Amino acid sequence: MEEHTLSPMQEKLLAMFKDTVSFFEQYNLRYFVCGGTLLGTVRHHGFIPWDDDIDVYMYREDYERLFTLNDEIERKGYYIQSLSEDGYYLSFAKIVDKSSTIWEKERFEHLTGVYIDVFPIDRFSYDDNAMVRNQIKARKLFRRYQTTISKNATKRMLKYLCQFRFVTFWIALRSKFSDTAKKQYLQMFLDFEKSFTDNKGDKCVSLTTAKGCIFRCEWFDKMTDGIFETLDIKIPSGWHEYLTLLYGDYMTPPPKEKQVSVHHSIYVNLCERISLQEVKKRLKKENSR
């Protein structure tokens, strides 16, 4: 693969990843690099050149223990974003750099910073088809919660009607006039998340991501050495099986026209933490030039 120069975002992420791995090891939190980060490790020995994020899995027990360590990770300049934070719009957690600002999606008026995505994975022993149905249900429940916290302008609500998405329209309408709708739909998702797994067996799944992908726990039971840019890291011993399931022929890069980032944030500031009000003010000033 061709060598590439890291972007400022990738440089900041790499430094953050080094701190995060050290933190995980300090507190015996078991993690596995996954998705594009694992693919980058295997194919590029670091970042996929056009990628700009880092993804890790944690088994549910370590994932939940991570939240109890927020005070400790804050001392290192980071914090944990999750659904306990009002207005947070993703079903998984982020470890966020406190000295940066990112506004990802216009319809969710909620800020983050440079981040590492942390996805929970859960064991289960029952039928794979039933688990896929649970994934579909979980995604549907979470989208309903997202509807309650998104900017539901009249134009968006009319679009729901034109698409015959009457349930979504009703949820959006409720959220405009009811302060309890958001809490109710969030709780519906959280209750389902707690109930869907028996936490047994030799299979595991990421509930709201990688739809239809069933993993074998043995892929993550042992680790092997990997190199991510300048870092020596551990990767799952079943990396080949995992990457094949997700990407097929994972060693062949996509065509040039598809070698682009999938993240399109509205505002990115790598060096400063500012409020949403200030972000909007700066964007307005830029757009008026």
- Length of the chain counted residue by residue: 289
User: How many domains does the chain contain in total?
Assistant: 2
**What does each C-alpha distance from 29 to 66, 96, 108 come to in angstroms?**
7, 17, 31
Name residues whose C-beta falls within 8 Å of residue 5's C-beta, 6 or more positions apart in sequence.
Answer: none
Q: Is residue 137 part of a domain?
A: yes
Q: What average pLDDT does this structure show over 225-251?
A: 95
Taking the CA atoms of 22, 58, 4 and 96 in sequence, report the sign of the dihedral they define: negative
Half-sphere exposure of 159 (CA within 13 A, CB side): 6
Interior CA angle at 169 toward 164 and 174, to 5°? 160
| 267 in Cβ contact with 283 (< 8 Å) | yes
Say if residue 97 is in the same domain as residue 229.
Answer: yes
pLDDT-based confidence at residue 155 (cuts at 50, 70, 90): confident
pLDDT of residue 179: 78
pLDDT of residue 148: 92
CA 143 to the chain's CA centroid: 15
What pLDDT, in 10s, does the model give residues 156-189? 788 888 888 888 888 888 887 887 899 999 999 9
Please give the helix or strand (H or E) that residue 58 lies within, else none. strand 55-59
Beta carbons within 8 Å of 15's beta carbon, 6+ residues apart: none
Residues whose CB is less than 8 angstroms from the CB of residue 4 and which lie 6 or more positions away in sequence, other chains included? 47, 49
Q: Please identify which residue in the block is written with the tokens 């709201």.
A: 208
| The predicted structure's pLDDT at residue 76 | 95
- Is residue 285, in this structure, part of any structural domain at all? no
Same domain, 76 and 141: no
Look up the CATH number of the domain holding residue 114: 3.30.460
What average pLDDT score do residues 129-153 get? Answer: 91
pLDDT score, position 152: 72
- In 231-246, which positions are buried (b, 16+ CB within 10 angstroms) versus exposed (e)? eebbbbebbeebbebb
Task: Give the pLDDT confidence of 58-96 residue by residue, as tens digits.
Answer: 999 999 999 999 999 999 999 999 999 999 999 999 999
Evaluated on CA atoms 29, 32, 34, 37, the torsion sign reads positive
Rg (C-alpha) for the chain, rounded Å, is 20
pLDDT value at 1 more than 60: no
Average pLDDT of the residues of the chain: 93
Residue numbers of the domain that contains 246: 1-121+219-272
Position 109 scores a pLDDT of: 93
**Do 113 and 12 share a structural domain?**
yes
